[in-house]
Amino acid sequence: MLLIVIIFIVILITFFVFNDKGLLSRAKLEKENKELIEKIKQDSLEGVKLDNEINELKTSDKKT
């Protein structure tokens, strides 16, 4: 009986770790989410930089 309970617990733990919505999948998605958030921040900063450059070019007295 104890062996059956242990096998059942091992199967349950394996299921929770390795299935599509398991811990490994969640960890991978969390890492990907952090990377995407960082990419959004970088792109946003680049957008602000480009907006500033556009404004400088619009208000510049120099014609190139």
More confident residue, 39 or 61: 39
> What's this model's pTM, rounded to 2 decimal places?
0.65
Structure tokens of 19?
């299935």
Run of H or E residues at 54: helix 23-59
pLDDT digits (tens, 9 = 90+) for 16-56: 888 888 888 899 999 999 999 999 999 999 999 999 999 99
Query: Could you tell me how far CA 52 lies from the centroid of its own chain?
Result: 28
